[in-house]
Amino acid sequence: MAAWSNAFEVKTAAGFAVAVAVAAIIAITSVYALRLVVRTTDVAIFDYSQEVIQAESTNALAESMIASSRGYLLSGQNAFLKKTQAKRTEFLAMLDKLPVLVRTEEGKRLVKQIAAAAREYLSAVDRVLLERQGTSLPSLSLLNSFEAELQPRREQLSIAIAQFVSHKQELLARARIASKQTSARAILLVVIIAGVAISLTIALAILLTRTLTKLYREAQIALRVREDVLAIVSHDLKNPLAAMLLNIKVLTKLIRDNSGVQEFKRPVALLQASVSRMSRLIADLLDASRLEAGQFPIGSNVHVAAAIVKDALATIEPMAAEKSVQIDADLRDTETQVMCDHERIVQVLSNLIGNALKFTPRGGKVVIRTFPMDNVVRFTVSDTGPGIPEDQLRSIFDRYKQARSQDRTKGSGLGLFIVRGILRAHGTDIDVKSTLGKGSTFEFTLPRVMQIQQSTDGKPCS
């Protein structure tokens, strides 16, 4: 179930990542394309505007040149002639710029038309000015001739420029319309992108909801099955096993008292060991289930640390004697008190010492120590067994996990899981250090009563 859940989380994250990536790619592409279009449109609008300005400036220069020419014709002053020549130079320069800005065929045609009209216009101006330079007196007839000859050419030039300006204004209007259409397309594209992203999110949400619903249903089924199994274990197996164990003890006593039935002693002992092992397995299963369900009851009372160790050893010493393993208890302070659940800590130590005995060869040693410290008491259980590989140190406290060993002894794989659960329920944890070929040391701490009392009323506990 956990593996499936992890795979589902990975798939869900990947799905959302793909959706976000697709939306991001579409958005980036759209923004890039939009920038290109807008930039092209802005350049076109700017160019068209410049062309209109150039054309209007050309028209203005033509009018200015006519005014200065009239002044020269009437007065004959060189200042007007120089001004006319300067305006003529500017006019020609402006005409040279127009073809550079033009991009359309119609625009090029109109520019050629302007150039032709301008040449005729300039020729008429030059001819009249040349005639004026030959006389020192103002001539109304020359002025009238200038006006009569220049007027149609000026109108022709004005018409050509007006057509060019009209053409450019039309192009400018089209560019502005295109810009508005581009903006509308951009808005539509953003809406489409948002729609795609929302659709993908909704699709993933639907998939996630369906999968979570399926997972929830499977979890409910698994919980019901587990509850049914626990009910069977706790009622249909635990009670008969307790009755069997009680009768075996009675039978063992009878065998011990009656030497005539000594031949039953070994079979009964084996039967007793099997029933005890089954009883411990059932108890471990129940404890593990309670831990996982968060319904593991923990008491909190004052107890002597050394007494807890001795109570745990009392249940283990027969096993140690049978296996020829030496057990030493190094209790530094027999009066130190701790706050804990006595039965559960005895269970912790029994499990740790039992594991140490299980993996310690004959002739080996198991040492239990207590170290009173400032505000805690440290408990350690060390053995001279084969040790635990480093890559397994993190997993040995997981459910149904055991360190690989050449020892053939097998257990339920729940002991260390329960040990860690009990200690965490006490607000502490367990640590392990191991060296291959030399042994392992498990250690944990419990709060000292003296420190707890100091923190509440400021008076040390005696």
Do the Cβ atoms of 119 and 96 come closer than 8 Å?
no
C-alpha to C-alpha distance for 238 and 292, rounded to whole angstroms = 20
Which region among 179-193, 273-287, 324-338, 439-453 has the lowest average model confidence (pLDDT)? Answer: 273-287
For residue range 215-260, what is the model confidence (pLDDT) as tens digits? 888 877 767 656 666 665 665 566 666 767 777 777 777 767 765 5
Amino acid sitting at position 437: G
Which residues make beta-bridge pairs with 337? Answer: 304
* pLDDT at site 184: 77
Phi and psi for 372 in degrees, rounded to 5? -65, 130
Which region among 93-97, 347-351, 456-460 has the lowest average model confidence (pLDDT)? Answer: 456-460
Q: How many CB atoms neighbour CB 277 within 10 A? A: 12
* pLDDT at site 301: 93
Tell me the CA distances in angstroms from 416 to 148, 370, 431, one per residue in order: 119, 20, 11
In this prediction, residues 359-386 reach a mean pLDDT of 93
For residue range 441-455, what is the model confidence (pLDDT) as tens digits? 999 999 999 744 444
Tell me the CA distances in angstroms from 326 to 103, 208, 239, 319, 435, one per residue in order: 104, 58, 35, 11, 20
* pLDDT at site 443: 96
pLDDT band at 133, cuts 50/70/90? low
Checking if the pLDDT of 53 tops 90, the result is no
* pLDDT at site 369: 94
In this prediction, residues 122-141 reach a mean pLDDT of 67
pTM: predicted TM-score of the whole model, two decimal places:
0.47
Q: What is the 3-state secondary structure (H, E, C) of 54-68?
A: HHHHHHHHHHHHHHH
C-alpha to C-alpha distance for 337 and 140, rounded to whole angstroms = 134
CATH of 2-205 given 1.20.120.1730, 3.40.50.300, 3.30.70.920, 3.60.15.10: 1.20.120.1730
The H or E element containing residue 228 is helix 140-231
Please give the CATH architecture assigned to the domain spanning 299-457: 2-Layer Sandwich (3.30)
**Sequence ranges of the domains in the chain:** 2-205, 299-457
In this prediction, residues 307-333 reach a mean pLDDT of 87
C-alpha to C-alpha distance for 191 and 189, rounded to whole angstroms = 5
Strand order through the sheet with 376-383: 326-331, 365-372, 376-383, 439-447, 430-435
